Structure 1
Amino acid sequence: MSPTSVRLRRGALAAVLTGTLLAPLTAGAAPPAVPAAPAVDSPSPSASEPDVRSLSPDVARRLDASIRRVMREGDVPGVTVGIWTPGQESYVRSFGLADKATGRKMTPDLFTRIGSETKTFTVTALLQLVDQGKVGLDDPIGKYIDGVPNGDRITLRELAGMRSGLFNYSEDDDFFKALTADPRRSFTPRQLLDYSFRHPVLFEPGRKFSYCNTNLILLGLVVEQRSGQSLGDYLDEHVLGPAGMKDTSLPAGSEYPTPHAQGYTDQTADGKVEETADWNPSWGWAAGAMVSTLDDLHVWARTVATGVLPDGTRMVSAATQKQRLTTPPTPIPGVGYGLGIFDVQGWIGHNGSLPGYESLTIYLPATRTTVVVLLNTDIDIGRDEPSTLFGEAITEIISPRHVFNLPAAPAAR
């Protein structure tokens, strides 16, 4: 199997755990849970050694140089970076090109596909239904969806925490062939599940961590069933609207608001680089099909990490948010994964990747710092995801005690 086909099948945790819609990352029985990430903002623990450096002109110049270095190393067409800490100057800058054919520059106002960051929204919807008593995290998925292998034993919690043992549909050979043969075709959630369910389960529920897009397709269907709304409509009314995120959406098909950057990928049948702006992301649906902007993701970073809306009311109850942020370790040192969210060296959030686009939205509770990175390629730099390398380069400068360092996950095939 070619390296290209392996990369397409990753999801966005190797894609970080390397943000691409992931070859399964498995280990032995999960170690005991690490302490939950802070559910509320807290002050920096050390005034003499701050967690986040002030964005002085010198720091801004270092960031510029480091971002440009990663771009050169990976031949990245364009990237936008936003860094915000209350009481400090913000850093919002775009580099490179949004479209190589026309020479149009990358700008901070562009819409972008956010891949597996979609998972944070789908799980938020699920947790709201938990708060409403419409579902229970420890309910078996078989209570809501028929035909799921081990459906009488896999819980909604295990689905959201990537510990279900189900096969990742995006690793199926026939799925890969269908997608790369016609990347503009539409997939239904049931078609995606069919690709997964033809395979035996990988392990008993709860025994291991294995990043799996199948899990989120199932949770999206649960949200629709228990809310009586389409997933897109539910998110608009109960998540995006209350957060004031007017430029974020779950497209029904290949629609893509303008202005947006052209995307560039080598995740194709022949490995050649192609443009992807008109590709259909329906194959990611509740796991990876959403569109957003820099400004909206700035809002979302703190909202999803704390469970608190910009107006100070709660998006998710404190008790449920605490469960979300209990992040048992994964096979990658320093990385924990809770309910649709990760903790990487103290940074809470998620990354995303699908052909042509990558994103990273993370929040450091100790100093209420947000970092958002948006780029218009998913082509690896060596064995690493470009969004990961940008995150590492940025945090090495602004938060040297909390460096977003994710080693590339080993390919399973």
Structure 2
Amino acid sequence: MRSMGIAAALASLLLLTACTTAPSQASSPASSSPDDSTATDGCPAGTSEHDGLCLSGDATSVALAEVLHRQFEADHLTATIAGVWHDGEPVLFGALGDSLPGVPATPDMHHMLGNLTTPMLTTAFLQQVEAGVISLDEPISTWYPDLPDADTVTVDMLLHNTAGYSQFTGQADFLADLYADPFRVWTVDEIIDIGTEGGPVFPPGSDWMFSDTNSAVLVGILAKATDRRVEDLIQTGVLDPLGMRDTTVTRDGNWKQPILQGYDGERGVWENVTGWSPSWAHFAGGVGSNAQDVGTFLDALASGELLSSKYHDIQWAPTTVGIGANTPDQYWAMGFLVVKDWMFLNPTIPGYSGAGATLPDEGWTIVVYTTPSQATDPAAPSATDITRAFTGILSPEHSLAG
């Protein structure tokens, strides 16, 4: 199974020609409400339709569109949705391909996000730290006394992936159960038990390893410490303040319409996996949204508007530098990777490949999601390749494409 982990290496960009589909109405990430000044061609204000995509019309937008078309064809994708904004204004917005046979994909379509939800979770978590409900230095034994090394592992270690708990999606028993019943509704404690079985794989705090098990434990702690549902904390602490009305925090996959359909062959047969239960990802990945809402959140993550300046700095701090493979140019912050000053995440989940990035100092924000066809290489990180190529166009000094 392709987990929601961070891609380990930069992949090469493939440049070929591609086909297009018609765009649909979208707004800039400054607001999740449709722009009243939308142009007659269905594009957001400040853009117009070019070969099926809404572009601002400058050389940058044209270069971005060329990359998107070429990668779409090169990877034999079923659909691609992409948005690029500069200081909240759309530079490129649109979709290529089909959601269902004969049904064009549109950029307002909703789908599971994967780990682009993780910084939503860590933001809601830090809001409770700021309120004095939880301490970063507190051992997790306060809430989970029976977990391995619970007296040693701290909240901060979970947030920074230095706790040592293994990735639950890599466990054979979990995969067997998921494939046997992809509609099963998982509890967070079931996920925690799978990921923490056997204890940390290294002394807590001594090394770094990406693991969604850490996020599952954070979800459990947040619920226990506040005596509230985590979905409510994310709703009131993140989504409502930003006006993210197209984002659904749910464990049943009942996303808002329209929905981008996802396909996969993980169980040995090519099938539509859109209706698979997202409960195994809970609120560190099991959230549904669309490109414009994700862009809204990434802008807020960059600006720090949901946290005080102190906790915004803590969220982005290079605390993990020098631990494991983390370096000043590439380190894990609280819920996301920072690479050459870009905040970067690239979720890969059944049916979808995604990537999101924001460069705070220059005001760029990128959101890309793709769905494969049977001809797509299962190992191809399509959304990652597109996003990295985009960064080279937008900010050569901070390019991730090399």
Same fold flag (TM > 0.5)? yes
2:95, 2:331 → 1: CA distance?
Answer: 30
TM-score using structure 2 length: 0.82
2:385, 2:309 → 1: CA distance?
Answer: 33
Please give the secondary structure, in 1, of the residue aligned with 2:397. coil
Which residue number in structure 2 is paired with residue 296 of structure 1? 293
Question: 1:391, CA displacement in angstroms?
Answer: 0.6
Which residue number in structure 2 is paired with residue 13 of structure 1? 6
Question: 1:218, CA displacement in angstroms?
Answer: 0.7
Question: 1:384, CA displacement in angstroms?
Answer: 4.2
Contact 1:112 1:293 in 2 (8 A): yes
Question: 1:191, CA displacement in angstroms?
Answer: 1.1
Which residue number in structure 2 is paired with residue 346 of structure 1? 341
Question: 1:88, CA displacement in angstroms?
Answer: 6.2
Question: 1:332, CA displacement in angstroms?
Answer: 7.0
Distance 1:378 1:403, change over 3 A: farther
1:149, 1:378 → 2: CA distance?
Answer: 42
Which residue number in structure 2 is paired with residue 399 of structure 1? 395
Contact 2:216 2:282 in 1 (8 A): yes
Distance 1:64 1:392, change over 3 A: same
1:252, 1:382 → 2: CA distance?
Answer: 26
Question: 1:79, CA displacement in angstroms?
Answer: 0.9
Structure 1 vs Structure 2 CA RMSD? 2.3
Contact 1:164 1:205 in 2 (8 A): yes
Given candidates 309, 324, 342, the residue that maps to 1:318 is 309
Query: Which of the two has greater strand per residue?
Result: 2
Deviations 1:154-180 (A, max 9, x none): 111110111110122111111010011
Contact 2:75 2:380 in 1 (8 A): no
Contact 1:356 1:378 in 2 (8 A): no
Distance 1:88 1:183, change over 3 A: closer
Contact 1:184 1:278 in 2 (8 A): yes
Question: 1:392, CA displacement in angstroms?
Answer: 1.3
Question: 1:351, CA displacement in angstroms?
Answer: 2.9
1:141, 1:300 → 2: CA distance?
Answer: 28
1:180, 1:17 → 2: CA distance?
Answer: 29
Contact 1:120 1:350 in 2 (8 A): no
Q: Is residue 333 of structure 2 the alignment partner of residue 335 of structure 1?
A: no
Matching residue's letter, 1:375: T
Distance 1:66 1:332, change over 3 A: farther
Which residue number in structure 2 is paired with residue 238 of structure 1? 237
Which residue number in structure 2 is paired with residue 190 of structure 1? 189
Distance 1:378 1:226, change over 3 A: farther
Q: Is residue 162 of structure 2 the alignment partner of residue 166 of structure 1?
A: no
Contact 1:148 1:197 in 2 (8 A): yes
1:74, 1:94 → 2: CA distance?
Answer: 15
1:139, 1:340 → 2: CA distance?
Answer: 18
Contact 1:11 1:211 in 2 (8 A): no
Contact 2:155 2:218 in 1 (8 A): yes
Matching residue's letter, 2:152: R
Question: 1:355, CA displacement in angstroms?
Answer: 0.5
Contact 1:165 1:203 in 2 (8 A): yes
2:56, 2:150 → 1: CA distance?
Answer: 50
Which residue number in structure 2 is paired with residue 81 of structure 1? 82
1:258, 1:344 → 2: CA distance?
Answer: 34
1:89, 1:131 → 2: CA distance?
Answer: 33
Please give the secondary structure, in 2, of the residue aligned with 1:14. coil
Contact 1:349 1:361 in 2 (8 A): yes
Contact 1:17 1:332 in 2 (8 A): no
Contact 1:177 1:269 in 2 (8 A): no
Contact 1:114 1:358 in 2 (8 A): no
Question: 1:359, CA displacement in angstroms?
Answer: 2.4
Q: Is residue 58 of structure 2 the alignment partner of residue 60 of structure 1?
A: no
Matching residue's letter, 1:341: F
Matching residue's letter, 1:208: D
Question: 1:229, CA displacement in angstroms?
Answer: 1.2
TM-score using structure 1 length: 0.80
Which residue number in structure 2 is paired with residue 38 of structure 1? none
Which residue number in structure 2 is paired with residue 221 of structure 1? 220
Question: 1:205, CA displacement in angstroms?
Answer: 0.9
Unaligned regions of 5+ residues in structure 1, if any?
19-53, 309-314, 407-413
* Paired residues for 1:370-409 under 5 Å: 370-377=365-372, 381=377, 383-405=379-401
1:87, 1:253 → 2: CA distance?
Answer: 32
Question: 1:254, CA displacement in angstroms?
Answer: 3.0
Question: 1:223, CA displacement in angstroms?
Answer: 1.3
1:15, 1:386 → 2: CA distance?
Answer: 14
Distance 1:286 1:17, change over 3 A: farther
Matching residue's letter, 2:325: P
Matching residue's letter, 1:105: P
1:210, 1:274 → 2: CA distance?
Answer: 32
Matching residue's letter, 2:68: I
Which residue number in structure 2 is paired with residue 41 of structure 1? none
Matching residue's letter, 1:171: G
Percent sequence identity is 25
Contact 1:110 1:258 in 2 (8 A): yes
